[in-house]
């Protein structure tokens, strides 16, 4: 039986410290049918020199070098346009793949219905020195997941909360083709991809640790919104898209939970115009209760409560959207 080709799209921006470990993990895959495409998005460190070294040693690697910074969404789309794989991995070059990662996810895809478009897994979190910080998902003393991550129709789940570790995903090419790739108008890709893909495709969770996710100061996932943050503006765009896709009361409630979470986040980081937009959407969706009427008033008056940020973090991580 002919094995399907898997394209690993490696996105690099100032990852020189981690790049060799990342690329070595790609090249160490036990699965034989792999296409490797590296995009450097105008790194200011030694990333390009390291990539060129690997390209010289491994001529099958395709290398796209940017002369202007494009961002993750455009960088990925450029590589996806020249890729040929039936399955795609979006791989940040500060993370690390386990040797069996591709083989195990391809085997899982081959055992599942064609409507499954995304397979994701658990991950080990590591710091800048590659020390283990534990697993992405919480587990009981005997190793059981609590709770088991959502699979199948996960549309309401991705609306209401973050629960997928992005670097663990393998995506069926047909999903990305249907979506037209990532939305390049956005500052980040994962939430929008989850919302748009989960409306029509099914997700599957493979209960194995198949990659290491790097947690460091530069990680987008570790950042709190700054004033005028493009990520927040992108989140508002995604929420507006999601409103058009809602089909059930449960999905609407999940979206309301998301809007509440993002409105709190926007307010307590001083993004008053964005918070007001979100609170207006919340009212339109019928989700405005007493505390959020107060939050609307505080936002309208731009009452600066940043000194309550510690309280905010406790609030932020309550509920399903945390």
Q: Say yes or no: 286 and 304 in one domain.
A: yes
Q: 194 and 82, same structural domain?
A: yes
Please, what sign has the CA dihedral across residues 122, 126, 132, 138?
Answer: negative
What is the per-residue burial (b if ≥16 Cβ within 10 Å, else e) of 48-81? bebbeebeeeeeebbbbebeeebbbbbbbbbbbe
What pLDDT score was predicted for residue 313? 55
Provide the residue range defining the domain that includes 112: 6-222
- Is 87 in contact with 171 (CB distance < 8 Å)? yes
Burial label for 292, CB within 10 Å (0-12, 13-18, 19+), is buried
pLDDT of residue 287: 83
The pLDDT tens digits of the residues spanning 148-171 come to: 999 999 999 999 999 999 999 999
Q: What average pLDDT does the segment 51-55 reach?
A: 99
Q: Which of 192, 222, 252 is the last residue in one of the domains?
A: 222
Q: What is the CATH number of the domain that holds 155?
A: 3.90.550.10
Task: Confirm whether 55 is domain-assigned.
Answer: yes
Q: Is residue 1 part of a domain?
A: no
Q: What is the mean pLDDT of the chain?
A: 93
DSSP output for 12-47: ESS-HHHHHHHHHHHHT-S-S-EEEEEEE---SSSH
* Whether residues 51 and 139 fall in one domain: yes
In a domain, 322, yes or no: no
Which pLDDT score is estimated for 143?
86
- The domain tally of the chain equals 2
Question: What confidence tens digit (pLDDT) does each residue in 197-254 have?
Answer: 999 999 999 999 999 999 987 664 456 788 888 999 999 999 999 999 999 999 999 9
- Given 200, 222, 244, the domain boundary residue is 222
* 240 and 191 fall within a common domain: no
Same domain, 266 and 187: no
As a residue count, the chain comes to: 322
Asked if residue 206 and residue 154 are part of one domain, the reply reads yes
Residue 131 covered by a domain: yes
Is residue 56 one of the residues assigned to a domain?
yes
Beta strand pairing call for 62-65 and 34-40? parallel
Residues 6+ apart with CB under 8 A from 116: 109, 172, 201, 202, 203, 204
Q: Are residues 218 and 270 in the same domain?
A: no
Of residues 200, 158, 192, the one with CA closest to residue 320: 158
pLDDT per position as a tens digit, 4-38: 999 999 999 999 999 999 999 999 999 999 999 99
Residue 185 and residue 205 in one domain: yes
- Give every CB contact of residue 15 below 8 A, 6+ residues apart in sequence: 22, 43, 45, 47, 92, 93, 94
Least confident piece of the model among 134-138, 146-150, 309-313: 309-313
- 236, 302, 239: which is closest to 268 by C-alpha? 302
CB-count burial class (<10 Å; 0-12, 13-18, 19+) for 283: middle
In a shared domain, residues 63 and 164: yes
pLDDT of residue 90 exceeding 80: yes
Same domain, 218 and 309: no
Q: What pLDDT is recorded for position 322? A: 41
Boundary-marking domain end, from 222, 242, 275: 222
Give 120's strand partners: 205
**pTM, rounded to two decimals:** 0.92
Long-range pairs for 307-312 at CB < 8 Å and ≥24 separation?
Answer: 308/268, 309/268, 312/264, 312/268
Checking if the pLDDT of 189 tops 70, the result is: yes
| Local structure of 229: helix, strand or coil | coil
């Amino acid at each position: 039986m002919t094995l399907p080709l898997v394209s690993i799209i490696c996105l690099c921006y100032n990852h020189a410290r981690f790049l060799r470990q990342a690329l070595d993990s790609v090249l160490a895959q036990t699965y034989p049918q792999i296409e490797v495409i590296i995009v450097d998005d105008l790194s200011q460190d030694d990333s390009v020199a390291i990539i060129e070294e690997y390209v010289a040693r491994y001529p099958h690697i395709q290398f796209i070098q940017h002369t202007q910074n494009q961002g993750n969404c455009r960088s990925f789309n450029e590589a996806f346009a020249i890729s040929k794989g039936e399955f795609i991995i979006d791989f940040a070059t500060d993370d690390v793949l386990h040797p069996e990662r591709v083989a195990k996810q391809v085997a899982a895809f081959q055992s599942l219905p064609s409507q499954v478009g995304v397979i994701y897994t658990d991950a080990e979190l590591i710091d800048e020195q590659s020390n283990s910080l534990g697993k992405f998902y919480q587990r009981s003393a005997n190793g059981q997941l609590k709770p088991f991550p959502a699979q199948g129709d996960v549309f309401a789940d991705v609306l209401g909360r973050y629960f997928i570790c992005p670097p663990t995903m393998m995506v069926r090419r047909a999903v990305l083709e249907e979506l037209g790739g990532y939305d390049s108008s956005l500052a980040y890709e994962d939430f929008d991809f989850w919302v748009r893909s989960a409306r029509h495709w099914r997700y599957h969770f493979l209960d194995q640790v198949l990659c290491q996710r790097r947690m460091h100061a530069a990680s987008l996932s570790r950042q709190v919104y700054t004033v005028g943050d493009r990520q927040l503006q992108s989140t508002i765009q995604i929420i507006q898209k999601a409103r058009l896709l809602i089909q059930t009361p449960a999905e609407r409630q999940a979206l309301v939970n998301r809007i509440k979470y993002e409105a709190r986040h926007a307010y307590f980081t001083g993004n008053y115009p964005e918070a007001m937009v979100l609170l207006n959407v919340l009212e339109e969706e019928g989700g405005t209760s007493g505390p959020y009427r107060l939050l609307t008033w505080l936002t309208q008056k731009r009452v600066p409560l940043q000194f309550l940020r510690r309280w905010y973090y406790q609030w932020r991580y309550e509920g399903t959207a945390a």
